[in-house]
Amino acid sequence: MATVQIELPSPAPGTRRMLRVHRYGPPGARPKAYFQAALHADEIPGLLVAQHLLLGLQQAQAEGRISGEVVVVPVANPIGLGQHLNGRLLGRFDFESTGNFNRGFPDLAAVAAERLRGCLSADPAKNIATVRETLRAVLAEQQAIRETSALKLALLSLAVDADYVFDLHCDSESLLHLYTSRWHSDEGRVLGAELGAAVILLEEEPGGNPFDEACAGPWWKLRAALEHEAPIPLACFATTVELRGQADVRDDDAAADAAALLRFLQRRGVIAGEPGPLPESHCEPTPLNGVDVLTAPAAGVLVYRKQLGEAVAAGEVVAEVVDLFGEPLGAARHPIRAATDGLLFARMTERLARPGQKFCKVAGREPLAYRQAGRLLED
Ligand SMILES: [Zn+2]
C-alpha cells in the first residue's frame, strides 16, 4: 500500500489543505476500483465506511489477495469539512460560491472525441486503453486556480481511468440507494443486491455533471460520437452510493457496507476470494425521471403522513404543510400528494418548509412528465 498527499492551493495565508490517497495492489493493475467519501462534506456515513474499507483492504493485502488496483480517498472534501456556520457543518455548497461540490466536474468527452478521431482500431480492448490515455491527457491539461476547482481536478484525475468508481454520499433521512447510468443497470443490480439497496436509480442525462457522470459519461458520449469509426465499450461503471441518512453513522452498518463493497470487488476480480452467493435483491432498478420529488407549495410546518420505506399510491397524501397563520385557525393545512405509485425512500430532516422546497422522494417505475432531462438532480 502506498499513501500520497496531494496539496491543494492555499486559500489564505497560513492555511493549506490536502487530500490523502491510499493505493493498494500493483500500480496500473486491472481492474481498477476507486472510492471517495463525503464529497458533500456534511454526509458523514461515507467517512466511516471508508475507514472500514481501509481495514478490509489492509487485510486483503496482507493475504496477498489484491490482484487489481484499489484507490481510496477517505476524505474527499477537506474544504467542505471546514465550513461551519453558527455551530453547524454545511458541506454541500462551497462557501467560496463555486456552487454544489458535486456538480460542474469537467466534461472531457468533446475534446477527447476530436483527438480520438482516426486513432481507434477494430479492437475494443485496445480502444479502451487509448480512450483512457486520451482522457488522462485531456484532464492533465486543465488548469485550476481556485482551491475547489483544484480539488475537483485532483479527484477526477484519480478516478477517470478506473473500471469501477464509488462515490460515497448520503441523503437527509433515507434508505440506502444507488444512482448509476441506465447503461449499467446490470452492474447496479448486482451492487444493489450486495448492499441491500432499497432503490436503484438509473440516470440518463441527469444534468449538472456530477462526479459519477464525469467518470462514466465520457464512455457513452464517445461511443455515440465515434460509433461509425470504432467499437468503444462502456469501460467505467460509476455509482453514487447514498448510505442512508445523515445521522445514520453506526459501526455495524458501516462494517456491513464496506464488506458488501469488497465482495463486489471480488465478483469483479479486483480482489481474489470467494464472495459467496449474491444476496437476493430488494428492488428492481427504476428510472431517475420516475422519482416524484414532492415540493412544498407554501411555508409552514411539515408533517409527514408516510414513513420512510412505506409504499405510497398516486394521489395519496404523503405529508401536510401546516399554514401557521391560515384559516380556519389551527386547522389550515396543505395536503401534498404523490404523483406516482412507489416507495418513499428519502425525506428532508428539517420540519419547516419554504415555498418551492423539495422535501421528499418517491421512487416510481414509470417516467414522470414533469421531470426534465438535464435537470434531474436537486441542487
Ligand atoms: Zn451527497
Query: What is the distance, to the nearest Å, from the Cα of residue 371 to the centroid of all Cα atoms in its chain?
Result: 20
Contact 282, 81 (CB under 8 A): no
Average pLDDT over residues 85-96: 97
Gap from CA of 211 to ligand 1 centroid (Å): 10
pLDDT of res. 105: 98
Q: How far apart (Å, rounded) are the C-alpha atoms in residues 255 and 257? A: 6
274 Cβ contact list (under 8 Å, min separation 6): 266
How confident is the model over 210-237, as pLDDT tens digits? 999 999 999 999 999 999 999 999 999 9
Contact 210, 240 (CB under 8 A): yes
Q: How far apart (Å, rounded) are the C-alpha atoms in residues 153 and 160? A: 10
Gap from CA of 39 to ligand 1 centroid (Å): 7
Segments in the chain forming alpha helices (H): 45-62, 78-81, 109-116, 124-140, 147-159, 185-195, 211-225, 251-267
Contact 19, 41 (CB under 8 A): no
Angle at 125 between CA 123 and CA 131, to 5 degrees: 100
Q: What percent of the chain has pLDDT over 90?
A: 96
Q: Which of 329, 314, 148, 117 is nearest to 226 (CA)?
A: 117
pLDDT beyond 80 at 94: yes
Gap from CA of 124 to ligand 1 centroid (Å): 34
228 Cβ contact list (under 8 Å, min separation 6): none
Average confidence score pLDDT of the chain: 97
Q: How far apart (Å, rounded) are the C-alpha atoms in residues 252 and 254? A: 6
CATH code for the part of the protein at 2-284: 3.40.630.10
pLDDT beyond 90 at 375: no
Gap from CA of 321 to ligand 1 centroid (Å): 26
Contact 319, 336 (CB under 8 A): yes
Gap from CA of 51 to ligand 1 centroid (Å): 18
Q: How far apart (Å, rounded) are the C-alpha atoms in residues 120 and 58? A: 38
Query: Which residues, in sequence order, are bridge partners of residue 6?
Result: 19
Gap from CA of 127 to ligand 1 centroid (Å): 33
Distances (CA, A) of 309 to 107, 339, 343, 359: 35, 17, 6, 15
Average pLDDT over residues 119-130: 97
Gap from CA of 143 to ligand 1 centroid (Å): 25
Identity of the residue numbered 345: F
Q: How far apart (Å, rounded) are the C-alpha atoms in residues 263 and 295? A: 38
How confident is the model over 233-269, as pLDDT tens digits? 999 999 999 999 999 999 999 999 999 999 999 999 9
Gap from CA of 362 to ligand 1 centroid (Å): 18
**Structure confidence at residue 379 as a pLDDT band (50, 70, 90):** confident
Average pLDDT over residues 161-176: 98
Helices and strands of the chain, counted as H and E runs: 8, 22
pLDDT of res. 145: 95
Q: Is the dihedral of CA 226, 228, 231, 233 positive or negative?
A: positive
As a dihedral over the C-alpha atoms of residue 284, residue 295, residue 368, residue 312, rounded to 10 degrees, the angle is: 50
pLDDT of res. 56: 98
Q: Which of 262, 284, 312, 264 is nearest to 202 (CA)?
A: 284
Gap from CA of 325 to ligand 1 centroid (Å): 35
Average pLDDT over residues 146-157: 98
pLDDT beyond 90 at 376: no
Gap from CA of 241 to ligand 1 centroid (Å): 9
pLDDT beyond 90 at 372: no
pLDDT of res. 220: 96
Gap from CA of 326 to ligand 1 centroid (Å): 35
Average pLDDT over residues 121-141: 98
Gap from CA of 306 to ligand 1 centroid (Å): 23
pLDDT beyond 90 at 204: no
Task: Quote the cell numbers at residue 310.
Answer: 412505506
**Structure confidence at residue 61 as a pLDDT band (50, 70, 90):** very high
The torsion region of residue 62 among left (phi > 0), alpha (psi -120 to 50) and beta comes to alpha
**Structure confidence at residue 206 as a pLDDT band (50, 70, 90):** confident
How confident is the model over 2-12, as pLDDT tens digits? 999 999 999 99
pLDDT of res. 51: 98
- The helix/strand/coil state of 309 is coil
Domain with CATH 3.40.630.10 in the chain: 2-284
Domain with CATH 2.40.50.100 in the chain: 289-363
pLDDT beyond 80 at 378: no
Q: How far apart (Å, rounded) are the C-alpha atoms in residues 331 and 242? A: 36
How confident is the model over 307-353, as pLDDT tens digits? 999 999 999 999 999 999 999 999 999 999 999 999 999 999 999 99
pLDDT of res. 55: 98
CATH code for the part of the protein at 289-363: 2.40.50.100
Gap from CA of 132 to ligand 1 centroid (Å): 27
**Structure confidence at residue 377 as a pLDDT band (50, 70, 90):** confident
pLDDT beyond 90 at 374: no
The length of the chain, given as a count of residues: 379
Contact 183, 202 (CB under 8 A): no
Gap from CA of 169 to ligand 1 centroid (Å): 4
